[in-house]
Amino acid sequence: MTRPYVILNAAMTLDGKIATAAGDSRISCEADLDRVHELRASVDAVVVGVGTVLADNPSLTVRRARGESPTRIVIDSYAKTPLDARVLDNSAPTIIASTRSAPKRRLQELRAAGAKIIVAGEKEVNLRGLLEKLRSLGVRKLLLEGGSTLNWSMLKEGLVDEVRVTVAPRIVGGATAKTLVGGAGFGEVRKGVGLELVRVVKVGRDLLLTYRVKGGKGAKKTG
């Protein structure tokens, strides 16, 4: 079964944090925010974990660039997305990807708030199954906008094809601050996800690094 082409995009500090320990995730400079909105306008859908919805309440729409807002997708096993979350406003379609463990009533409330519900998995969202379903619904290009836990699952399952990371010239520290990729992690460096650096550009005061994931779609077959 085919799945969409997946681009992971994130902004991190030089020490790899995507938010401070206190939860501040305003890392990108103005020029980088413009770039992210242009990127959103170029994809069919954008996906985040429910942790990001609860922490940042993002709207995930295109406001700083021309073009249409993509479909917004929240990975939310237990349907915890608040009914007043910005992702549920009527500025773009929204899909809540949930599981058979989610309370039926919550799913009904989210449906009544305008979201389409896709049930994939028992206790956590079956990401591969979901991506295949999304592809069958016409999603060819999918933007993954975090957070740390969802980035880990997507990378571990081999569902990411390209990584674009903005490195801001800040160091914030904090042992509990979320990093670009969380989860259990790999025990050995050689087992980590292999990347090939394809582009380095300065965006405003930040540095944008673009990598192709080895073995991903669009990767060279050798190496």
Is 70 among the residues that bind ligand NAP (CB under 6 A)? no
Tell which one of 111, 124, 171, 173 touches ligand NAP (CB under 6 A).
124
Q: In the bound complex, what is the minimum distance in angstroms from residue 203's beta carbon to ligand NAP?
A: 14
Q: How far apart, in whole angstroms, are the C-alpha atoms of residue 25 and residue 6?
A: 22
Nearer of residues 56 and 221 to ligand NAP, judged by Cβ: 56
Q: In the bound complex, what is the minimum distance in angstroms from residue 23's beta carbon to ligand NAP?
A: 5
Phi, psi of 4 (to 5 degrees): -70, 160
Is 75 among the residues that bind ligand NAP (CB under 6 A)? yes
Task: Tell me the per-residue interface mask from 193 to 212 with ligand NAP, x by CB under 6 A, - otherwise.
Answer: --------------------
Is 55 among the residues that bind ligand NAP (CB under 6 A)? yes
Binding-site ranges for ligand NAP (CB under 6 A): 10-11, 18-19, 23, 25, 27, 48-52, 55-56, 75-78, 80, 124-125, 127, 145-150, 153, 178, 182
